[in-house]
Structure 1
Amino acid sequence: MEEQYYALPEDFLSDITFCNYCKGAPEKDVQYWTNWLKAHPGMAHIFREAEHLYKMIGVYDEGYQQAFERFSNEIHTTIQPKRRWLNVRNAVAAASLLALVSASLYYTLRPAGTTAVAQVSGPLYDTIDAGIGQVRSIRLADSSTVVLNSHSRLLIPTDYNKHERKVILAEGEAFFDVTHHANHPFTVKSKGVETRVLGTSFNVQAYTEKAGMRITLLTGSISVHTGIAPQPILLKPDEQLTISADRTYAVQRVPAARYSKWINGELDFYGQSLQDIAATLSTRYGAIFVFTDNRCRKELFTASFDKGMPLKKVLALLSINRNIYFEQKGDTVLVHMR
């Protein structure tokens, strides 16, 4: 069976062999996932939550997406008028929100731009979303600030800073400028990885369409608990931790300031593959990139583009002196080799 990357519960639920494992048949799928779990102990919490979600919404033979839509419709019939189902497809996929789909769900509307999800046991979260092409800045209760990049979602416990400072980057990219508090470390959870600090500034990129994730430190110091490395990884300024699709990791020196230019609307790519660049452009412009030749994906680029530059011009500049060209058809961009 081909090894794939599983970052969220929905990744497991979209795999028919995992659903077979949850059903207990056939034996070859049960054995495969039993062995997989032993080989990936750091993923046990997400694996178990995917099992729980499977039992909760009943994926069965209809597929994850259809099952989740059915489950959402069923919940709609049980809630009062003027209340609404939180669109938590990605949030449910994030490990920490799985518990919100419990037997006694109820829903509460929050101020514009946020939605709170209440549950019998576990925390209540406010969710902050940045849509396609948006950049949003949030000031937290402890005066720390978070800037969300396009197509990103942040989950903030409603009791944030009362007992602890923890947030969840459920999807996308965020820049954190954390106020120092010696007795209350600040923690960001994303894709099963925890980044802990006392006071510093750093960038986390964890888009679901990008198999891995990147944590880049600008100032201060951070401790990253990956679930892979035997010990927490300590980063210094201008260091970047990359966690790859195969759950390997590496630390390298980088010009960290380049990785936060997006805050000002700039696009900046430093030795990035065209596949990752396409994912970034997709979230910025809402385009869908289709590679007609897989060799294009691994092409590396270092380039910067000003705020507001049209996608057509960005693509034209990327293709200069390259054996790659882009063909736009509406919202779809075909990537070809010459």
Structure 2
Amino acid sequence: MKEQYYELPEDFLSDTSFCNYCKGAPEKDVRYWTNWLETHPAMAHIFREAEQLYKMIGVYDEGYQQAFARFSNEIHTTMQPRRRWLNVRNAVAAAVVLALVAVSLYYTMRPAGTTTMAQTSGPLYDTIDAGIGQVRSIRLADSTMVVLNSQSRLLIPADYNKHERKVVLAEGEAFFDVTHHANHPFTVKSKGVETRVLGTSFNVQAYTATAGMRITLLTGSVSVHTGIAPQPILLKPDEQLTITADRTYAVQRVSAARYSKWINGELNFYEESLQDITAILSSRYNVAFVFTDNRCRKELFTASFDKEVPLRKVLELLSISRNIHFAQKGDTVLINMR
């Protein structure tokens, strides 16, 4: 794999190993691309754009493999490889991706904090974005309240609440305060995981950079269909389900209220890894974090910061509590052990 072969998002998406990385398994592909990104920081913006494209394809089209099967017969006789190293099968897959690029790039590159309509071969969606450093509240048609954290995206079907109540958290973190409706469960889908409720309040964190996700229940009860557990996982108040990048899961008791303080602009971390913390800081402050020493990734921190605290102060306090050095150069922060 050579860097010059990965110049555009569709170049990544034609690589099965990269698509496995986006799905979070197998571990060897996740590890390879994590290391690749660290050693190719100049490609980070294209890499992240490719992740976004893969995610949008998965939301609307259930994955590019299905798209490939559906469209390949129609275009394989006329599609020519863009470069001599790209074989015919990958060229067709890339063409399928390009058919969806217009939609997904529109979402990726439009101004932050917007609401748009998305038309695909599937249903029509309202797309709600929270921009960098922004917390945005939305009241749905059934009076359910949703609060989106910084750099988060929610997809709402145009026919929401007519026959069913389903939304997609395509990126980021959201708090849901769901209006009770006995005959119409409320469902949130994110990273292939479905959380179903009748009426309750809970928090879902599913930033792309964290690979895994976390569901925290404040009130009521939820049933989580993970796709990996043999049965749906039932959560009670003050319980949290964590699903890791390698598709393991665990439920633990927590003080759930702590995990929704971000609604007021606070930053609160409770025994969280530095890798997950930097994903949140990246969305809040619009900077990229690069680990030059992988030993830092799993360092655990418990810390709280007031609203509008500058990044410099956050990094300073994290550095004091551990033998870790942060070096900011423009919009990139390098992390290593002292």
TM-score (norm 1): 0.73
TM alignment of 1:59-208, pairs within 5 A: 61=86, 70-71=98-99, 85=103, 87=105, 113-119=114-120, 122-208=122-208
Give the structure 1 partner of residue 67 of structure 2.
53
Q: Deviations over 1:281-314 (max 9, x none)?
A: 0000001111111001110000000000000000
Higher helix share: 2
Deviation at 1:211, TM superposition (A): 1.1
TM alignment of 1:221-240, pairs within 5 A: 221-240=221-240
Residues 11 and 94 in structure 2, CA contact (< 8 A), matched pair in contact too: no
Q: Distance in 2 between matches of 1:229 and 1:315?
A: 37
Residues 86 and 117 in structure 1, CA contact (< 8 A), matched pair in contact too: no
5+ residue gaps, structure 2: 1-9, 20-57, 73-78
Deviation at 1:235, TM superposition (A): 0.1
Q: Distance in 1 between matches of 2:227 and 2:11?
A: 18
Residues 59 and 67 in structure 1, CA contact (< 8 A), matched pair in contact too: no
Residues 12 and 50 in structure 1, CA contact (< 8 A), matched pair in contact too: no
Identity of aligned residues (%): 74
Q: Distance in 2 between matches of 1:72 and 1:180?
A: 36
TM alignment of 1:14-53, pairs within 5 A: 15-17=15-17, 49-53=63-67
Letter of the structure 2 residue corresponding to residue 147 of structure 1: V
Residues 175 and 203 in structure 1, CA contact (< 8 A), matched pair in contact too: yes
Deviation at 1:52, TM superposition (A): 2.8
Residues 13 and 97 in structure 2, CA contact (< 8 A), matched pair in contact too: no
Letter of the structure 1 residue corresponding to residue 226 of structure 2: T
RMSD between aligned alpha carbons? Answer: 3.0
Letter of the structure 2 residue corresponding to residue 118 of structure 1: Q
Q: Deviations over 1:133-182 (max 9, x none)?
A: 11110000010000001111100011111111110001111000001111
Q: Distance in 2 between matches of 1:195 and 1:310?
A: 34
Q: CA 1:236–1:286 in structure 2 vs 1: closer, same or farther (change >3 Å)? A: same
Residues 262 and 268 in structure 1, CA contact (< 8 A), matched pair in contact too: yes
Question: Paired residues, what number?
Answer: 272
Q: Distance in 2 between matches of 1:119 and 1:330?
A: 38
Q: Distance in 1 between matches of 2:192 and 2:155?
A: 14
Letter of the structure 1 residue corresponding to residue 247 of structure 2: R
SS at structure 2 position matched to 1:298: coil
SS at structure 2 position matched to 1:141: coil
5+ residue gaps, structure 1: 1-9, 20-44, 76-84, 91-111
Q: Distance in 2 between matches of 1:213 and 1:244?
A: 7
